[in-house]
Structure 1
Amino acid sequence: GINWCKSTKLKMWLFSTFVIELPPTLRYRRANMPLISMWVACKEPGIHLWLNESVQMLKLLKTNGILVNDFTSKINVYGHLGKCILDSILDVPLPTSIICDYGHVSLLRHFKDVIRSIGRALSPSLRKTIDSKLRRQVFPLYFKRKMRGIEELSYIKASEIKNILLYGFLPHFHNVLPCNVLGHIALFICGVRLLHSSHKKVRESTDDIANELLKMYHEHHNFYYTYMENFVLHLHAHYFMNYKLHGSLTYVNTFAQEDLMGSIASDRNGTYRNIYENSSFFVKT
């Protein structure tokens, strides 16, 4: 959940969706992410109490079909009358439908721990020098966030760690770390960077190369770090299959959902426009 405001302990939980048939450039826009239900309370909601009616509404939508150009399809498709827009999402079998959340797995967990481990081994003066360089790194105007220093890892955002991973780590640490340590981290950075590429813009073997890099990184991980060979590290072995089934890491993350939550939380008092747009939201408190 996300904090509703600073003066109270109220938090907000959202149950949102997106239309998977849309191209990625349109799929994660706020206007194309229908909000099914919202829960505002001080405690975490009971999943059945919160989503029972919403799920029943989705089941009704699947049963009755959808109206397209004044025509309702009643063709039996995989046991359902009519093919719903959400059909490809709700009927994907497990575990194929499970996608590793790149924002939390790679950025907020694993790579953040790697930076913290490396930062502890550096002298205070060297950490301050690197922090200063990271903060002063220049980015194009369309970058929403810049980079924070090592000392601010407790308050860092996933998008800021992504900038460090893709653009800041190797340029600012290549003169600081030993060659073998830097090369090992480069395996991870290059593997993740390749998985950011689109299927249409790269050659077919890109996912295989990324998989080999991440495998090699995993095999030698215990040589450089202690107590970090955990489940989060293991999840990177499944990125290869996620890339084949669901696309690049650019399009399978929770950045859009968190942006939607932040937008709704910032407009909690409402405006005429928001009231009109959100009039179909199903709200429970």
Structure 2
Amino acid sequence: MEFAGGKGQNVPLILGNGRFLADFEQALLGMSAGEEKTFPLVFPADYPSAELAGKTVSFHTQVREVAAPVLPELDENFLRSVGVTEGGVTELRQELRLNLEREVRQKIGTLVKEQVMEILLQVAPIPVPQVLVYNEIQRMRQNTQEEMQEQAPKRPVPEMPDTLFEASARRRVTLGLIVAELVKRAEISAGAQQVQELIEEMASAYERPEEVVQWYTQNPAQRQQVENLALEDAVVRWVCEQVSVKDVVRSFEDMTRSVQAG
């Protein structure tokens, strides 16, 4: 069966980064440059597109090129290229450690938020105005098309039917309404300190964090987005205080793999 977005040419694929379905990547393992292969693939039952969820399709692929990363020599030239001018390898390792810890911390926060939002969907089912879902579909489609155009300016953007975004759009709208009502009823808020801490956490990923902090300070629209995120975090904390929470131990390697895939 043919479906929107099911065709592409010269599409880059990095094994293990999570952009493609795991079964699709698995089917490509062992292929060489110039080799062609046709294989069936079953889309997950919970795939966002209702048109494809649980369906079996046949993919025909051709590998244009196979490449692998080449690790550079850990010398002065490399250190300068990544912005390390003092401290040598020790400084580089420290920066890498801080970056990994920040990414894992953010990933844990994302996983917890996803679980909390799933709980809210289960305990507070509500009717959703279709017009809100429609507007969200349009917004998601436009964002996706703009991202695809930015990544491959010369490649025509495929048509994307509403069904491709409907499930995700309905979920987002539903959660938005539930969270807004919960914030109102429980009088949940995020203070200026929580917003500032979130901005500084986001800015720490950049080479000049002070400039990023200043940029958020001087751009009310961008700061409002951070305030919304801080409010979502406050909702997550409130929900976690109302339920029984069980800690799950995961290895550092497992979390870093999740970060790279997510």
Using structure 2 for the length normalisation, give the TM-score: 0.37
Using structure 1 for the length normalisation, give the TM-score: 0.35
| Greater helix fraction, Structure 1 or Structure 2 | 2
